[in-house]
Amino acid sequence: LFAELLRQRLLESSGESDLNALHSRASQWYEANGLELEAFHHATAANDIERAMRLIEGKGLPLYFRGEAMPIRHWLASLPEAEFRAKPALRVMYASVLTMTGRLHDNIDEILQAAETALQDAAPDDKTADLLGQIAANRAMLAVPKNQVETIITQSRRALELLHPDNAPMRATTTWTLGYAYQVQGKRAAASKAYAETIAQSQKSGNLMTEIAATTCVGQIQEAETQAHQAAASFRRVLQLVGDPPWPAACEACVGLARIHYQWNDLAAAERYGQQGLALARQLENVDTPAACGVLLARVELAHGDVAAAVTRLAAAEQFVQQHHFEHWMAEITTVRIQVLLHQGALATATQLAEAHELPLSQARIQLAQHEPKAALALLAPARQEAEANDWADRRLQVLLLQALAQQAANENAQAMQTIGEALTLAAPGGLLRLFVDAGPPLATLLRQAAQAGVAPRFAQQVLTAFGETAIAQPPLTQASIQSIAQPLMDPLSARELDVLKLLTTELTGPEIARELMVSLNTMRTHTKNIYAKLGVNSRRTAVRRAQELNLI
């Protein structure tokens, strides 16, 4: 209060020129003592635009790369148009700050175009080239949220050609955008190399924002390569860099940790990180992270058996994607929607979606649900070839699990065992449990056989534990045994009833079985009543005993 009183008296006793002089002196003092943000505030108060611009540019690292973009953005927005017309560099600076803060609705393209037009009459020196490089770098950044790969690559390469060698922050940012484009293309080795360069450049110049972005992307590639523990370490490194409370820029690291904990079957941690990532992402204006959070949280809800909540979550994610034109997320959202539809038995709708979005793995799941394993294998063969040709470990693992199920259903038991062995070997180092659990109870048969055969037995047992089973609890259920028992029954058990029957042999309660199968408790009870009626029993224990006598389990 006393300070405010002194300021008020100063305003009353001094003229504008005197105040400007005082602010200029204060700005110089703060700059000399390394307090550049405070120096910037006093420069703006003194209406010294040239000095304010120089302070924003910083000594090797602009202030807006240090998490100080908001006050700079507000000041730039307050300047008259005449200042921008007279100073093309001011337009470039404004566009850079808006890009940093995700303000796409502020017509950044128009600002960049106006700056580029003004620079046509400028001297063709290093400064002009650097400004043109910054324009290209901003255009590359603007293309990132939409996954516009060709634009990102073209503008990034142009930026790296034009940017001054000493403009380390912008060069690091542009190297990151180039790496991001490679990542979207599936060129993971090239992306990793670009990210390593970005991190090295960022650490050298103290560019924390770009180091955070590159480290997050390194974690995403490690995650895609099934290196879950390394990915988790990268994401935790991001949280360490941003501090507490975390910056909104940490949203992607949070959802990355959510996905990893989901694969580790730690659903509570997955939900916690997913909600944190969503809360942080909502503070930003131009990120697709809410879609990633929506997909992850829907998977968690499905794992808990809350199908209605998952459906609502997916609908909200789809609405967000359509509203913000993040079409590249539709395939992932649709994949989860199809899984829900398959659990609900809505094969026709699932088929339409899979065909409309050209999702071969989802189409293979549908073929399996329709008891067409040969058709599923035909779809999976080229998908596996593509995954192996590009060295996409995550895609290969997904294909292997579906191939194993299809081979099992086609009575190709030896091949199924070999395939599930490959999948276990690939998933074991990262502890990726949920991929197996989400494939459904039929996979448990192969897992028991693998554990008994000594194929990654420790990890196979971990997966079976996640299923709620043990490796020695039951003899394997083969297609031949199903057919041999189905004939004597007047009313054969359906595939879903067989799934329920297998889980009745475990110690899972009724609600837990319903959650495992992702159906309502009433639906599970209906299946159980049907099983009792078809087997001619009236209790769970006798149903299990009768099923064992008939070689159903």
Q: What is the pLDDT of residues 398-414, one digit of tens each?
A: 999 999 999 999 999 99
pLDDT number for residue 15: 56
Supply the pTM of this predicted model.
0.78
Kindly tell me if the per-residue pLDDT of 471 is higher than 70. Answer: no
Which is more confident, 480 or 94? 94
Spatial separation of the C-alpha atoms in residues 273 and 251, rounded to whole Å: 9
| DSSP type of residue 283 | T
Residues 6+ apart with CB under 8 A from 317: 290, 291, 294, 295, 298, 329, 333
Spatial separation of the C-alpha atoms in residues 281 and 255, rounded to whole Å: 10
pLDDT number for residue 70: 83
pLDDT number for residue 425: 93
Rounded average pLDDT over 181-188: 95
Most distant CA atoms of the chain, gap in Å? 104
Lowest mean per-residue pLDDT among 8-17, 130-139, 292-301: 8-17
Burial (CB < 10 A; 0-12, 13-18, 19+), residue 78, is exposed
pLDDT band, very low/low/confident/very high, at 260 (cuts 50, 70, 90): very high
Residue 157 corresponds to which tokens in the numbers above?
């390469």
pLDDT in tens, 497-530: 888 888 888 878 888 888 877 778 888 888 898 8
Contact call for residues 100 and 209 (beta carbons, < 8 A): yes
Kindly tell me if the per-residue pLDDT of 487 is higher than 50. Answer: no
Question: Could you give the angle at which helices 540-549 and 495-504 cross, rounded to 10 degrees?
Answer: 110
pLDDT number for residue 492: 72
Q: Compute and round to an integer the Cα radius of gyration of the chain.
A: 30
SS3 425: helix
What phi-psi label fits residue 199: left (phi over 0), alpha (psi between -120 and 50 degrees) or beta? alpha
Kindly tell me if the per-residue pLDDT of 474 is higher than 80. Answer: no
Residue 375, amino acid? A
Contact call for residues 271 and 286 (beta carbons, < 8 A): no
**Residue that is written with structure tokens 């240090």 in the block:** 66
Residues 6+ apart with CB under 8 A from 64: 56, 72, 73, 96, 97, 100
pLDDT number for residue 3: 59
Helical residues (DSSP H) of 288-428, grouped into ranges? 289-303, 307-324, 330-344, 347-356, 360-369, 373-389, 393-409, 413-427
Burial (CB < 10 A; 0-12, 13-18, 19+), residue 171, is buried
Contact call for residues 550 and 485 (beta carbons, < 8 A): yes
Residue 358, amino acid? E
SS3 407: helix
Helix (H) or strand (E) holding 253: helix 251-263
Residue 22, amino acid? L
SS3 content of the chain, % helix, strand, coil (to 5): 75, 0, 25
Lowest mean per-residue pLDDT among 28-42, 194-208, 353-367, 466-480: 466-480
Burial (CB < 10 A; 0-12, 13-18, 19+), residue 185, is middle
Lowest mean per-residue pLDDT among 234-238, 279-283, 455-459: 455-459
Kindly tell me if the per-residue pLDDT of 469 is higher than 50. Answer: no
Kindly tell me if the per-residue pLDDT of 172 is higher than 70. Answer: yes
pLDDT number for residue 292: 96
pLDDT number for residue 550: 66
pLDDT in tens, 96-134: 988 887 666 568 999 999 999 999 988 889 999 999 999
* C-beta atoms surrounding 488 within 10 Å: 8
Q: ∠275-66-85 over CA atoms, to 5°? A: 110
Kindly tell me if the per-residue pLDDT of 136 is higher than 60. Answer: yes
| DSSP type of residue 245 | S
Kindly tell me if the per-residue pLDDT of 210 is higher than 90. Answer: yes
**Residue that is written with structure tokens 């050298």 in the block:** 204
Spatial separation of the C-alpha atoms in residues 5 and 30, rounded to whole Å: 22
* C-beta atoms surrounding 313 within 10 Å: 23
With pLDDT > 70 as the criterion, what percentage of the chain qualifies? 91
